[in-house]
């Protein structure tokens, strides 16, 4: 018997007990649909975050800090850590009460600049303007200096030019109307930033709006400023502060060539580590976000896996019953010269076909549900997030689900198939 004949025979054998087969396929369908939907959500969100990753910062930047060690007790509880007169520290809420953040100075910048593949080193300074104003009222605002070239998507205009000598700012999506403009007319207009120094004196710094950021899931509430504006704001803010305080900072932004490979970036991190620093890229932040998403998706996938596990026992039961009911047929096939190997393949094909139809139907229904949810979400709760497709079903993911379930079905059908292939033809022909 040819392999095509084995598949045809397996297909017809599935229909001998329609109800039993249908119930087994339904169990597989539920598992396939659940896994497809949960992975569709994960793929959709991760794809959107990839598009919006520029809002977390430039991709060729390392955020570098001094390696932190406990400032309270040594790890062996032998006593408090020794005082280091060359280190400046500040209290931080991370790590528990009493933990301190070791600050960096110009000497740290010089050390980092000497490392190969470091293009530039800039301190990340905490700038806290009091307000932003356009044509009318004043509003609170959070600003962050743009380092490197942003890849953030803009609704209108462009991101700030970090090399420009003029003050520039790009605003979040919801600021234009509040400042008295629409998103298109505000580009090129001047806004005022109020900022207070250490003496309590408030000053105003003007900046030109270069663009409006696309609304997104990450970084959408921060106004990005270029180096010129950041320097002027910090200069005003730090008036009255001791020089040691002004020239100390928790983090520096290290720029490296965008052409570096992952291996070269890792080498750069290792070199920083050897010097007593730790560095993190936007990709590392992205991986942290993706790890959280994957953990959530895995929890939901467990429901699909449980359904597939139940379906596997259904396949075993279905085929064991089929072997029992077709004992005489098996004996006749063996008597006519069919080998045990082909008997095994016959029942294995039947298991795989059950898995195939269950997974195909599950994937198809999941895709239809996904399209419906996307249509509702696009005009509903996700209307403010253009470009976000909540559920995405790449062909690769669909094929992995279908093939994976077929493999599970094959493994589940192995026991009944082995039992069928080992039947004694004479005993089988005597069976009533």
Instruction: Give per-residue pLDDT as tens, 91-143.
Output: 454 445 555 667 888 899 999 999 999 998 989 888 999 999 998 889 999 99
233 pLDDT tier (thresholds 50, 70, 90): very high
- Alpha carbon distance 356, 409 (integer Å): 8
Instruction: Answer yes or no: are the C-beta atoms of 236 and 111 closer than 8 Å.
Output: no
Model confidence at 40: pLDDT above 60: yes
Q: What is the mean pLDDT of residues 45-74?
A: 69
pTM attached to this predicted model: 0.62
How sure is the predictor about 416, in pLDDT bands with cuts at 50, 70 and 90? Answer: confident
In 3D space, the residue among 98, 51, 14, 76 whose CA is nearest the CA of residue 387 turns out to be 51
pLDDT at 52: 63
Tokens of 215: 């609304």
Taking the C-alpha atoms of residue 224 and residue 58, their distance in angstroms, rounded to an integer, is 12
Q: How far apart are CA 242 and CA 103, in angstroms?
A: 15
Q: Which residue has the tokens 């959408």?
A: 220
* Rounded CA separation 335/329 (Å): 10
- Reported as a pLDDT band with limits 50, 70 and 90, residue 86 is low
pLDDT at 72: 47
* CB neighbourhood size of 193 (10 A): 26
Element (H, E) at 52: none
Tell me the two tokens of residue 352.
Answer: 């795989």
**Residues 260 and 117 sit within 8 Å (Cβ to Cβ):** yes
197, 237 contact by CB (below 8 A)? yes
For residue 35, pLDDT over 50 is answered with yes
Band the pLDDT of 71: cuts 50, 70, 90.
Answer: very low
Q: Which pLDDT does position 164 carry in this prediction?
A: 92
Residues paired with residue 98 on neighbouring β-strands, in sequence order: none
Residue 282: both structure tokens together = 């936007």
Structure tokens at 374: 């996307």
Short-list 24, 59, 14, 78, CA closest to 151: 59
Least confidently predicted of 149-158, 276-285, 292-301? 149-158
Helix axes of 18-51 and 395-412: crossing angle, nearest 10 degrees: 150
Q: State mean pLDDT over 303-309.
A: 81
Distance, CA of 56 to chain centre: 13
pLDDT band at 247 (very low <50, low <70, confident <90, very high): confident
The C-alpha atoms of residue 318 and residue 323 are separated, in whole angstroms, by 9
Q: How confident is the model at residue 193 (pLDDT cuts 50, 70, 90)?
A: very high
Task: State the chain's mean pLDDT as an integer.
Answer: 82
For residue range 321-379, list pLDDT tens digits in order.
Answer: 777 766 777 777 777 777 888 888 888 888 899 989 999 999 999 999 999 998 888 88
What is the gyration radius of the CA atoms in the chain, in angstroms?
Answer: 32
What pLDDT score does 70 carry?
46
φ, ψ (nearest 5 deg) of residue 190: -100, 135
């Amino acid at each position: 018997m040819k392999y095509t004949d084995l598949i045809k025979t397996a297909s017809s054998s599935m229909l001998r007990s329609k109800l039993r087969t249908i119930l087994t396929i339904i169990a597989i369908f539920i598992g396939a649909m659940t896994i497809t939907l949960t992975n569709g959500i994960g793929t959709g969100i991760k794809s959107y975050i990839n598009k919006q990753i520029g809002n977390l910062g430039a991709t060729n930047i390392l955020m570098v800090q001094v390696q932190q060690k406990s400032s309270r007790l040594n790890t062996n509880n032998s006593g408090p850590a020794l005082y280091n007169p060359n280190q400046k520290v500040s209290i931080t809420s991370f790590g528990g009460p009493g933990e301190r953040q070791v600050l960096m100075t110009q000497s740290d910048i010089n050390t980092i600049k000497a490392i190969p593949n470091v293009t530039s080193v800039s301190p990340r300074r905490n700038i806290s303007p009091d307000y932003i104003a356009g044509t009318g009222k004043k509003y609170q605002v959070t600003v962050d200096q743009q380092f490197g070239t942003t890849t953030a998507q803009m609704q209108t205009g462009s991101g700030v030019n970090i090399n420009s000598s003029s003050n520039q700012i790009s605003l979040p999506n919801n600021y234009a109307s509040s400042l008295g403009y629409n998103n298109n007319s505000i580009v090129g207009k001047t806004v005022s930033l109020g900022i207070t120094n250490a003496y309590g004196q408030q000053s105003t710094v003007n900046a030109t709006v270069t663009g409006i950021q696309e609304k997104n899931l990450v970084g959408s509430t921060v106004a990005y400023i270029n180096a010129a504006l950041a320097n002027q704001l910090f200069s005003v803010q730090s008036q009255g502060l001791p020089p040691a305080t002004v020239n100390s900072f928790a983090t520096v932004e290290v720029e490296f060539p965008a052409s570096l490979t992952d291996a070269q970036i890792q080498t750069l991190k290792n070199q920083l580590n050897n010097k007593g620093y730790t560095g993190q890229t936007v990709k590392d932040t992205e991986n942290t976000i993706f790890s959280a998403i994957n953990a959530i998706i895995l929890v939901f996938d467990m429901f699909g896996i449980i359904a597939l596990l139940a379906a596997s026992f259904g396949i075993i039961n279905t085929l064991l019953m089929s072997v029992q009911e077709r004992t005489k047929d098996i004996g006749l096939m063996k008597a006519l010269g069919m080998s045990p190997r082909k008997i095994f393949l016959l029942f294995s094909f039947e298991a795989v076909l059950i898995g195939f139809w269950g997974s195909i139907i599950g994937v198809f229904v999941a895709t239809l549900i996904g399209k419906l949810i996307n249509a509702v979400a696009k005009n509903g709760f996700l209307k403010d997030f253009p470009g976000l497709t909540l559920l995405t079903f790449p062909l690769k993911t669909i094929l992995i689900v279908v093939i994976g379930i077929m493999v599970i079905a094959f493994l589940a059908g192995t026991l009944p198939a082995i039992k069928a292939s080992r039947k004694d033809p004479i005993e089988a022909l005597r069976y009533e």
